[in-house]
């Protein structure tokens, strides 16, 4: 938890300083570089990362003040933070990477990402996969779901990819009286008539979906999308069975778009908040760095909510515009001899 000191703090490195550094440093987000930029000792940065004990509830507290906690869409997904050259670094393992389309060396970050009815989206809970805890990613998902519901979040829908669409997870979401949209594998079996089971990839599915019976679960509506040459299948559950008839392609697309917002979040925390760029090795400093990167994302999104910035990528590029322009202007001085020299034409 965020510490409550009993006397005025004297630490040179603080969370706001570390967050600002992560958002603004274009290349080397290391303790050494922060100490150079801010004129503090390298040990001050190390002590900050070792001293604090931030938890997922701290991220929820920071995000919840900006969100409408009732009636939104909650998404679960994970992302691999590449650490191909790490040696003796805790929490590093081998995980499937959607970016590389293979198993790679790194850390696995699992996130619950919430989109409220007003269109604001922020992470509200997270876990870093730790093999020592003996849990699966599905275990982490269920733990995080119980957390956010206990903290006061009241989502109307849950979404996730096929990794999280096991029957146990689907039933848990249904028991919390939420609707859901989950991707399913192409060989998942459903029934369109009693006693007959067929893989979803072999069905003719209209654009407005097909009501089917999902094996070991119950009635859902099945949709199919195509991304390039790849077919994807999704099941939608609605708490009110009468609503299936009016849940059409446009409703599915709205929910599907909210489902994909977490991919933009994954890209931004890597490219703008530099969540992968750390060189500390211990469990505690790694977790504190990840918390700071996620908190940086929350504050960048807050700046967009109130129109201080329109785009985080453009904002980051603009940080260096004046510096680059000033350097180019200084560099040009005294080098006019390198320019093409005009010579007047001579008539023969």
Q: What is the pLDDT of residues 184-229, one digit of tens each?
A: 999 999 999 888 999 999 999 999 999 999 999 999 999 999 887 8
In this structure, is the dihedral angle defined by the CA atoms of residues 97, 56, 34 and 324, taken in order, positive or negative? positive
- Tell me, what's the pLDDT at 96? 83
- Tell me, what's the pLDDT at 244? 94
Residues 107 and 91 sit within 8 Å (Cβ to Cβ)? yes
- The H or E element that residue 48 is part of is helix 42-51
Residues 58 and 290 sit within 8 Å (Cβ to Cβ)? no
- Tell me, what's the pLDDT at 338? 87
Q: What b-and-e string marks burial along 221-246, b requiring 16 or more CB atoms within 10 Å of the CB?
A: bbbbeeeeeeebbbbbbbeeeeebee
- Tell me, what's the pLDDT at 17? 93
Residue 122: Cβ within 10 Å count = 22
What is the rounded average pLDDT for all residues in the chain?
91
For 138-183, the pLDDT digits (tens) are: 999 999 999 999 999 999 999 999 999 999 999 999 999 999 999 9
| pTM, two decimal places | 0.91
End-to-end CA distance of the chain: 87
Round to whole Å and give the CA distance between 320 and 308. 18
- Tell me, what's the pLDDT at 1? 59
- Tell me, what's the pLDDT at 2? 64
Work out the average pLDDT over 322-335: 91
Round to whole Å and give the CA distance between 129 and 125. 13
Closest CA to 144 of 46, 77, 192, 221: 77
Work out the average pLDDT over 95-101: 83
Model confidence at 59, pLDDT cuts 50, 70, 90, reads very high
- The H or E element that residue 181 is part of is strand 179-184
Residues of the chain with pLDDT > 90, as a percent, come to 74
3-state secondary structure of 119: coil
- Tell me, what's the pLDDT at 141? 97
- Tell me, what's the pLDDT at 4? 62
Round to whole Å and give the CA distance between 274 and 166. 32
Round to whole Å and give the CA distance between 138 and 146. 12
Round to whole Å and give the CA distance between 78 and 124. 14
- Tell me, what's the pLDDT at 279? 85
- Tell me, what's the pLDDT at 15? 93
Q: What b-and-e string marks burial along 278-298, b requiring 16 or more CB atoms within 10 Å of the CB?
A: bebeeeebbbbbbbbbbbbbb
- Tell me, what's the pLDDT at 5? 56
Model confidence at 67, pLDDT cuts 50, 70, 90, reads very high
- Tell me, what's the pLDDT at 337? 85
Closest CA to 293 of 314, 315, 268, 318: 268
Q: Is the pLDDT of residue 346 over 90?
A: no
Model confidence at 27, pLDDT cuts 50, 70, 90, reads confident
Work out the average pLDDT over 229-255: 94
Q: Is the pLDDT of residue 7 over 80?
A: no
Q: If you ran DSSP here, which 8-state letter would residue 150 be given?
A: H
Round to whole Å and give the CA distance between 127 and 291. 10
Work out the average pLDDT over 276-281: 88
Q: Is the pLDDT of residue 10 over 60?
A: no
- Tell me, what's the pLDDT at 95? 87
Helix, strand, coil distribution of the chain in percent, nearest 5: 40, 25, 35
Q: Which domains does the chain have, with CATH numbers?
A: 1-53+279-331 (1.10.10), 55-155 (no CATH), 157-241 (no CATH)
Residues of the chain with pLDDT > 70, as a percent, come to 96
Q: Is the pLDDT of residue 286 over 60?
A: yes
Model confidence at 339, pLDDT cuts 50, 70, 90, reads confident
Q: Is the pLDDT of residue 3 over 60?
A: no
């Amino acid at each position: 938890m965020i510490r409550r000191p009993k006397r005025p703090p004297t630490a040179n490195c603080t969370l706001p300083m570390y967050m600002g550094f992560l958002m603004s440093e274009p290349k080397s987000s290391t303790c050494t570089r922060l100490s150079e930029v801010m004129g503090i000792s390298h040990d001050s940065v190390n002590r900050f990362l070792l001293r604090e004990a931030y938890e997922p509830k701290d991220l929820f507290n920071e995000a919840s003040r900006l969100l409408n906690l009732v009636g939104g869409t909650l998404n679960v997904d994970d992302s691999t933070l590449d650490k191909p050259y790490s040696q003796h670094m805790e929490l590093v393992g081998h995980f499937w990477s959607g970016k590389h389309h293979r198993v790679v060396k790194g850390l696995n970050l699992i996130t619950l990402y919430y989109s409220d009815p007003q269109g604001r989206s922020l992470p509200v809970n997270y876990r870093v996969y730790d093999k020592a805890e003996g849990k699966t990613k599905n275990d982490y998902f269920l733990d995080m779901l119980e957390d956010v519901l206990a903290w006061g979040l009241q989502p109307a829908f849950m979404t996730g990819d096929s990794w999280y669409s096991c029957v146990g997870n689907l039933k848990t979401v249904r028991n919390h009286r939420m609707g859901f949209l989950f991707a399913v594998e192409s060989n998942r079996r459903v029934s369109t008539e009693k006693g007959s089971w067929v893989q979803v990839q072999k069905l003719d599915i209209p654009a407005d979906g097909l009501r089917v019976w999902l094996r070991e679960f119950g009635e859902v509506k099945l949709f199919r999308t195509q991304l390039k040459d790849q077919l994807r299948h999704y099941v939608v559950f609605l708490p009110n069975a009468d609503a299936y008839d009016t849940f059409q392609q446009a409703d599915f697309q709205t929910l599907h778009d909210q489902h994909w917002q977490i991919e933009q979040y994954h890209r931004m925390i890597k490219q703008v908040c530099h969540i992968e760029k750390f060189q500390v090795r211990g469990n505690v400093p790694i977790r504190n760095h990840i918390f700071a990167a996620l908190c940086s994302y929350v504050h960048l999104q807050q700046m967009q909510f109130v129109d201080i910035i329109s785009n985080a990528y453009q904002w980051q590029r603009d940080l260096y515009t004046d510096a680059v322009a000033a350097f180019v202007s200084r560099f040009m001085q005294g080098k006019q001899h390198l320019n093409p020299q005009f010579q007047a034409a001579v008539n023969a």
